[in-house]
Structure 1
Amino acid sequence: MLTLLKIRNLALVDELVWELGPGLVGVTGETGAGKSVIVGALKLVLGERADKSLIRNGEDSCTVEAVFELTDAAEIDAVLADGGLDPCEDGSLIVRRVIGQSANRQFVNDSPVTLALLKRLGEHLVDLHGPHDHQSLLSTERQLAMLDAYAGNDAALDGYRNAWRAWRDKLTELEDLRDAESASAQELELLRHQVEEIDAARLKPEDEDEIADRYRRSSNASRLVELSGAAATALGADDGGVLSHLAEVQRLVRDLEKLDPAIRELTQGLEGAVMELQELESSLADYAGDLDIDPAEAKRLEERVNLFESLKRKYGGDLAEVLAQRERAAARLDAVENRGERLEQLAAEVAGLREVTEKAGLALSAKRKKAGPKLAKEIAGQLKDLGFKQSSFEVQVLSNKEPAMSGLEGVEFQFGPNPGEPLQPLRQIASSGEISRVMLAVKSALADQDATPLMVFDEIDANVGGEIARAVGRKMAALGGRHQVVAITHFPQVAALAARHYVVEKEVAGGRTRSRLFPVTGEPRIAELVRMLGGGGESAKAMAVSLLEGP
């Protein structure tokens, strides 16, 4: 339920902290006192767009914060997960809107969110109804959802929708192939050439670097032999090579060491340097001897490297991309050459999935057709309690021409308030008083199936009075046994049935007008009911007391 609502600098409200309880919560007050601000604040929580005109005069921003405690947060957590947010902790959800002069922001559990995500959350949190807020009830899609909820069709509907999506996806694939242009002879020839050319190269991406290295050595073999031979000669022990000079150095060092043994600390690295240079001379000689000057091999490697470069210029930046292009060309070629066969295969798959969809749809339809009369009877009974003693109500099932995502049929709620007159779709009912009571009857019939934690009724008892208003109050109180219900009302018959009663009034302080909300019990509550009854005196007070005591 909604446990806390904080409002700051919204319209006439400078600051309001409202701690709500369970059951039916009544909100009353004189016209213009500011009851609409409560509804406006809740609409902001639900993700309704807002502008700076809502900000209290003289302030920079206004803030609305709502705290919900959820017994089952599964649906809310799923919406949060879609938005990349963490799930609720201990079932607690905090929604905050900040409306500024230049920008608006919204937060859920202190994380910034989009207005679209807040709107999705709001659909699961609050069901708000005012004299003109009945679009959801008038929507045939919403009516079908209500019937499915009443019938407990969740599993059957999920099974049907899975089948329907599989059928539609396959049908789209078939239609795309049918609509695709057939390939020209030139395109087919080009595709075959690409596949054959790449296949003929017998490419292995991992061989590219090795072959490039081998080609580099082969093409420079003569120069490599020349350079390595010259380096070995320069190091040689004969003919003035480096090693021949080092032999003289070694002789001189030995003579030094005989005269001064301490010099060995300076000369000890000489022997190692001589040995390393000898090994280097030997290695260079071996390297030169191993070089194979084979013009035929060099030519073959050159041709292979040139082929690599040519394919990369045609099909991609490296051999991996060349092979990827080969797969794309082969797939396109296969699709074109086997188009007829693929069309037949897809058509058969579509027919099979259509059959599965219709089978699942018929099972869902049977549940709907069985539940429709029961729901209509339940709503009709609720309507009689609300003053429509001789009204009629039907849930009409209408078959679709083609399977839709919602099933093989739609529904139309039809209502006849007066005997002897034909039933009409709800959307054709002009009276706001009638449609408000029909909405309340539907909500009452579906109270056990409706998972929305908070229901708000904003003066839906308008245009009714007397015993009908009392009946409306009783229905709201009964809904309060299953949901948290906030009723903003002008009728004492409704307010008297609330488990908690709050009054909104205007006051002037420091030259400024502000709205405030406070609870009333005992004598102050009786006084508020007397005001609502329209007169003072003992008779009005006795009437107020009798309303509180019940029938």
Structure 2
Amino acid sequence: MLTHLSIKNLALVDQLTWQLGAGLIGVTGETGAGKSVIVGALKLVLGERASKGLIRTGESSCTVEAVFELRDEVAINRSLEDVGIDPCDGKQLIIRRVMGQTSNKQFVNNCPATLSVLKHLGEQLVDLHGPHDHQSLLSVERQLSMLDAYAGAHHERNHYIGAYQQWREKKLELESLQQSEQANEQEMDLLRFQVEEIAAADLRPDEENDIEERYRRASNSARLVENAAQIAGVLGAEVNERLGEVQRLARELESLDPSSVELLGGLDSAIVELQELERGMADYSASMEIDPAEAAALEDRINTFETLKRKYGASLEAVLEHHAQASERLDRIENRGDRIEALRSEVAAAEVKLVQCGNKLGAKRKKFAPKLAKEISKHLVELGFKQASFELDVVPHSQPQSAGLEGVDFQFGPNPGEPLKPLREVASSGEISRVMLAVKSALADQDATPLMVFDEIDANVGGEIARAVGEKMAMLGDRHQVISITHFPQVAAVASEHFVVEKTVEEGRTRSQLRLVDGEMRIEELVRMLGGGDGGLARAMAQSLLS
């Protein structure tokens, strides 16, 4: 459950810390006092987008932090680990959101997070309903999910969805292949030409660098021979003769001045190296073969590379990849007849499995639909619909759909003698709030969401049934933590905890604050809600509601 909500600099709230308990928690206050800030703060930590206009005037940022105590942290930790966030320390989950004038930041267990992470966690933790949040109840997809939850058809639904996906994939592949039968001969001729052209080149991905290196050597072979021969010529007989003269003069210098020996120590080795260089250049020149045919062949190979790359890709790897794709496409077209027959068999087999799974799921839906309708009808009677009718109409589809072979439509008749119609066509906003509460009550045991928030959903109901609305919320509070923001004293009186939002003006600034009321203070708040001022009758009524 939500145990702690901290708000700083959000709208009219400068600083608010809210400690919450279990059961039904009532939140009341005069219109405009700031009750909506509570819901707004919850929506922020649940990942809803918001504008910087929510930041309190004069402040640079606002912060909202929520602390949830988890009964079972396994599912939440799995969601956190999937996005690289530290798991919960014990059974406590902390979500913090900071909104600034230029940037927003979100944290889960002190780790940075995205809004989508907050939204995903929020879907597991909080079910929030406002005066206009009944659209989900009018959605036939949502209605079907509610029936499946009540019927305990989780496994049957998952099996059906898996079979549907497999059948759909095979069916789409077959349709695509049947359409490809219309591929004209021009496309096939083009594919054959591309496949044959690339195959004829007999490419290897790693040969391009080797061929280019060999071509550079072959195309420059004449120049290489010439340069090597010139080097050998310069180092030939004339240089050897001059080096001999240098060697003779060095010996004479050493005999005249023994100290010069150290200066001339490297002369002999230098002469030997120059002689070896001369012989090496002569051998290199003699071994270099000038083969114009090889150079031409290498040049043709390089031209082939460039032509294919210009047509099919920037590298030989890309050219070979194109060859593989074109070959596969050509094979599919040429052999599509065999593949079509095989796919028809696969589609038929997948459809048999789909129908089997769909029938199992449908049987469970048809069995539990009347039971859920009866359960909802019971709660509707308790909420003031004494003679209303409610049914779940299970309607088969003409074709398999992603959620089953049939759909469901909630049928509602608030007035005796009138035919039942789809809920979305007959319910007013006041009626739909009570129907939603009846559905929530019927599904209380199946709904795994720990926190339910009802934001003034009783705004359009009469005072005579407000007590029943409060009792339904209190019943939900036995299985969930429930926060009800309400204008009705009948609802607030049955809450296990009662908080009041008040607006004050201090030093010229308006601020909203939240306080727990109990005992005499709670009676005073109920009297205010009853509109009785200091009258004894209103006070007696408030005490009666509490008792």
Establish whether TM, by shorter chain, passes 0.5: yes
Match of 2:289 among 286, 292, 295: 292
Rounded Cα–Cα distance in structure 2 between residues aligned with 1:510 and 1:226: 99
- Provide the residue aligned with 2:191 in structure 1: 191
Q: Secondary structure at the match of 1:422?
A: coil
Report the AA paired with residue 98 of structure 1.
Answer: M
Rounded Cα–Cα distance in structure 2 between residues aligned with 1:156 and 1:269: 94
Rounded Cα–Cα distance in structure 2 between residues aligned with 1:224 and 1:335: 53
Report the AA paired with residue 143 of structure 1.
Answer: Q
Asked if the contact 1:395/1:414 (under 8 Å) is kept, the reply is yes
- Is 1:392 paired with 2:389? yes
Rounded Cα–Cα distance in structure 1 between residues aligned with 2:12 and 2:308: 76
Asked if the contact 1:50/1:99 (under 8 Å) is kept, the reply is no
Q: Secondary structure at the match of 2:479?
A: coil
- Provide the residue aligned with 1:67 in structure 2: 66
Report the AA paired with residue 423 of structure 2.
Answer: L
| Aligned CA distance change for structure 1 residues 337 and 272 (closer, same or farther; 3 Å) | same
Q: Secondary structure at the match of 2:372?
A: helix
| Counterpart mapping for 1:86-235 below 5 A | 86-90=85-89, 91-96=92-97, 98=99, 100=101, 105=104, 107-109=106-108, 118-180=118-180, 182-235=182-235
Listed as ranges, the gaps of 5+ residues in structure 1 are: none
- Provide the residue aligned with 1:489 in structure 2: 486
Length-normalised TM-score, structure 2: 0.87
Q: Secondary structure at the match of 1:452?
A: coil
- Is 1:347 paired with 2:322? no
Q: Secondary structure at the match of 1:267?
A: coil
Q: Secondary structure at the match of 2:169?
A: helix
Report the AA paired with residue 178 of structure 2.
Answer: R
| Aligned CA distance change for structure 1 residues 377 and 198 (closer, same or farther; 3 Å) | same
CA shift at 1:240, angstroms? 0.8
Rounded Cα–Cα distance in structure 2 between residues aligned with 1:365 and 1:338: 40
CA shift at 1:27, angstroms? 1.1
Q: Secondary structure at the match of 1:504?
A: strand
Please, which moves more after superposition, 443-452 or 304-313? Answer: 304-313
Rounded Cα–Cα distance in structure 2 between residues aligned with 1:463 and 1:301: 88
Identity, in percent, stands at 61
- Is 1:520 paired with 2:517? yes
Asked if the contact 1:9/1:59 (under 8 Å) is kept, the reply is no
Asked if the contact 1:457/1:487 (under 8 Å) is kept, the reply is yes
Deviation per CA, 1:488-507: give whole Å up to 9, x if none. 22333322221211112233
Report the AA paired with residue 93 of structure 1.
Answer: I
Deviation per CA, 1:202-231: give whole Å up to 9, x if none. 222333333343344444444433332332
CA shift at 1:68, angstroms? 3.5
Rounded Cα–Cα distance in structure 2 between residues aligned with 1:63 and 1:307: 66
Asked if the contact 1:392/1:415 (under 8 Å) is kept, the reply is yes
- Provide the residue aligned with 1:33 in structure 2: 33
- Provide the residue aligned with 1:458 in structure 2: 455
Asked if the contact 1:44/1:64 (under 8 Å) is kept, the reply is no
| Aligned CA distance change for structure 1 residues 296 and 501 (closer, same or farther; 3 Å) | closer
Please, which moves more after superposition, 498-507 or 66-75? Answer: 66-75
Report the AA paired with residue 319 of structure 1.
Answer: L
Rounded Cα–Cα distance in structure 1 between residues aligned with 2:463 and 2:305: 93
Rounded Cα–Cα distance in structure 2 between residues aligned with 1:531 and 1:318: 81
- Provide the residue aligned with 2:330 in structure 1: 333
Report the AA paired with residue 135 of structure 1.
Answer: Q
Rounded Cα–Cα distance in structure 1 between residues aligned with 2:220 and 2:9: 85
- Provide the residue aligned with 1:477 in structure 2: 474
CA shift at 1:46, angstroms? 4.3
Deviation per CA, 1:486-542: give whole Å up to 9, x if none. 112233332222121111223333344433221111221122223334434555444
Deviation per CA, 1:183-214: give whole Å up to 9, x if none. 44444333323322332232223333333433
Q: Secondary structure at the match of 1:170?
A: helix
CA shift at 1:251, angstroms? 3.5
| Aligned CA distance change for structure 1 residues 423 and 55 (closer, same or farther; 3 Å) | same
Q: Secondary structure at the match of 1:455?
A: strand
- Is 1:529 paired with 2:526? yes
CA shift at 1:412, angstroms? 1.3
CA shift at 1:289, angstroms? 2.6
CA shift at 1:437, angstroms? 2.1
Match of 2:545 among 530, 544, 547: 547
Q: Secondary structure at the match of 2:164?
A: helix
| Aligned CA distance change for structure 1 residues 526 and 315 (closer, same or farther; 3 Å) | closer
Asked if the contact 1:218/1:294 (under 8 Å) is kept, the reply is yes
Listed as ranges, the gaps of 5+ residues in structure 2 are: none
Report the AA paired with residue 64 of structure 2.
Answer: E
Q: CA RMSD in A?
A: 3.3
Report the AA paired with residue 527 of structure 1.
Answer: E
Report the AA paired with residue 232 of structure 2.
Answer: A
Rounded Cα–Cα distance in structure 2 between residues aligned with 1:356 and 1:335: 27
